[in-house]
Amino acid sequence: MKKYKSLGQHFLRDPQISQDMVARFINETPCKNVLEIGPGDGAITQFLLLHNDINYKIVELDERLVQLHHKDPQRNHIEIIHCDFLKLNLRSVFDGSPFSIIGNFPYNISSQIIFKILDTPQLVPYLVGMFQREFAMRVISNSGHKDYGIPSVLTQYHYDCHHWFDIAPNLFEPPPKVWSTIISLNLKQEIRSDIDLSIFKRIVKATFNQRRKMLRNTLRAVMNESQLKNPLIEKYLMLRPEQITLDDYMNIATICS
């Protein structure tokens, strides 16, 4: 089957990786509701089907792959949501109940998938995804790392992020030009209640959108002079955004909340 570059299709061809990925996912997921994003021709699907105790659905945009799953007698009982995940109403997937997500995500929309999930994190308490390694590092990196940025801070506000392992390009068809990485996101049990999330996001985006500048310059877009002179803020003003931890960003947000 011809792979569509426009859909970011790179199908995993190492069954051991898929099997290990699913086994760990099943062992760690807190939900019986499971959604697979972009199943392709079933590299991960075949191992999820071995677990009859999960309530399993898939979402796939490519009509050819939807028909492939429908025609397979081992898969034709799966509920297939034929649509673009980015346009899917997540509350409708399991009638408002939480669900875990797994998938070899299309690399061209990886960031959009993560940010969509961050809009309703309580619906997705657990995620295991295969991403382009560069983007995966942008999600899991901590302050001081060159990949630390907006995806890192906004994702880690809601989730504990874990690196699983990397996958070489030659294990895919067609081989991508980059390495891949599997990571997991575990929803945090407790999140600070003294923070206005919209303000928090504005602060993070304002600073990282000009990441070469010190916070004394970038925070002026979201804070007034009185707030900037607060002793809790002044200690950050000579720093750049990659030097500020998640806790620091939350502390800054409380001054504006």
Is the pLDDT at 2 greater than 60? The verdict is: no
Give residue 175's domain range.
5-187
How confident is the model at residue 256, as a pLDDT? 83
Same domain, 133 and 203: no
Q: Across the strands, what pairs with 172?
A: 12
Same domain, 105 and 16: yes
Residue 155 lies in a domain: yes
Same domain, 138 and 210: no
How confident is the model at residue 140, as a pLDDT? 98
pLDDT in tens, 203-230: 999 999 999 999 999 999 999 999 999 9
User: Which of residues 187, 212, 235 is at a domain's end?
Assistant: 187
Residue 186, SS3 per DSSP: strand
Is the pLDDT at 7 greater than 50? The verdict is: no
Across the chain, what does the average pLDDT equal? Answer: 91
| pTM greater than 0.85 (yes/no) | yes
pLDDT in tens, 43-87: 899 999 999 999 999 999 888 888 888 787 777 678 999 999 999
pLDDT in tens, 150-172: 999 999 999 999 999 999 999 98
Which own/partner pairs from 48-54 qualify as long-range (CB within 8 Å, at least 24 positions apart)? 48/22, 48/102, 49/74, 49/75, 49/78, 51/22, 51/26, 54/26
- 115 Cβ contact list (under 8 Å, min separation 6): 151, 154
How confident is the model at residue 75, as a pLDDT? 74
Is the pLDDT at 101 greater than 80? The verdict is: yes
More confident residue, 101 or 69: 101
Residue 245 lies in a domain: yes
